[in-house]
């Protein structure tokens, strides 16, 4: 899948209830959060979803914690282990006010 419309249609076809967004922190630990599928729209897919970066250890200070998680549309798959139908995606991380990627996936994309 390469467009947000394709991803949204994929979720509908699979009767998705939730969407799981995954990333790796600087220590190398998988982090994730799950949102209701009703929050999955084209704007969220392209612009990202806000989250509190200070809740991730070694990530951001409380006074500078606004972060965005932006799904990588090419990585959406259905997770067979969730109780309810749930597509999952790896994500890119961005500081709220900049388009610059943060985290390991962003670092790797620059190299």
- Going through the chain in order, the beta strands assigned E by DSSP cover 18-24, 30-36, 49-52, 66-71, 77-78, 87-95, 101-102
Q: Residue 60: is it exposed, middle or buried by C-beta count within 10 angstroms (0-12/13-18/19+)?
A: middle
> Model confidence over 38-69: pLDDT tens digits?
999 999 999 899 888 777 776 666 666 778 88
Please report, in angstroms and rounded to a whole number, the separation of the first and last CA atoms in the chain. Answer: 24
Give the SS3 label for residue 34. Answer: strand
The answer to which of 6-10, 77-81, 92-96 has the lowest mean pLDDT is 92-96
Distance CA(104)–CA(26), nearest Å, equals 7
């Amino acid at each position: 899948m390469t467009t947000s419309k394709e991803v949204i249609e994929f979720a509908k076809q699979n009767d998705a209830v939730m969407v799981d967004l995954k990333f790796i922190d600087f220590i190398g630990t998988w982090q994730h959060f799950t949102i209701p599928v009703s929050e999955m729209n084209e704007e969220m897919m392209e612009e990202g979803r806000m989250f509190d970066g200070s809740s991730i250890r070694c990530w951001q200070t409380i006074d500078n914690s606004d972060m965005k998680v932006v799904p990588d549309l090419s990585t959406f798959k259905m997770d067979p282990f969730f109780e309810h139908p749930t597509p999952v995606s790896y994500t890119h991380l961005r500081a709220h006010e900049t388009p610059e990627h943060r985290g390991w996936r962003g670092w790797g994309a620059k190299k």
